[in-house]
Amino acid sequence: MSNFTFTPTKIEGVYIIDVKSYGDSRGYFMETYKQSDFEEAGLHYTFVQDNQSSSHRGVLRGLHFQKQHSQAKLVRVLRGEVFDVAVDLRGNSHTYGQWVGVLLSGDNHRQFMIPRGFAHGFVVLSETAEFAYKCDELYHPEDEGGIAWNDPDVAVEWPDVGAVELSDKDKKHPTLKECGMRF
């Protein structure tokens, strides 16, 4: 019996994954990834890199992608709460330019599976958040790209956190129309 519930979203290939945890007065235990369960659900990935970040309330990271070395990502929050977003950049997809978002937290243990061909980003809703993710391709800094977090054509409905805090790089991303990115 699997410890995971795989729920497809409105965008093909993107899944919200609920993880069963076992808890008592000492705390909890859970499996966060089991290759055989993911493959049984039709998710065939070989992860080659794990990343982790820490951010404070209002930090918005994204919307990022790699141009030639696209990455599938399995994302989750270890502590705190974020609103996580995937934007479809697959040129042959009927949902190109559309987004899907999910609330991830250290309490709900929910994960988000984002296949290759997507821009990805998140905004921190709690005072701080620790964010972790697996990638099926190595990060190549010379290959990174992004689209504007507030692109009016993509129209992500970000939760209100007041003023968002962006990196200098994220402030300069073009709109999807301007960059014309298609995988």
> Which H helix or E strand runs over 155?
none
Q: Is residue 133 among the annotated active site residues? A: yes
Distance from C-alpha of 140 to C-alpha of 113, rounded to nearest angstrom:
20
* Amino acid in position 97: G
How many Å from the N-terminal Cα to the C-terminal Cα in the chain? 36
Distance from C-alpha of 137 to C-alpha of 27, rounded to nearest angstrom:
33
Catalytic residue, from 15, 120, 133, 173: name it: 133
For the CA atoms of 40, 46, 52, 56, what is the dihedral angle to 10 degrees?
-50
Catalytic residue, from 64, 109, 120, 173: name it: 64
Q: Is residue 109 among the annotated active site residues? A: no
Work out whether strand 81-88 and strand 73-79 pair parallel, antiparallel, or are unpaired.
Answer: unpaired
What residues are annotated to the active site? 64, 133
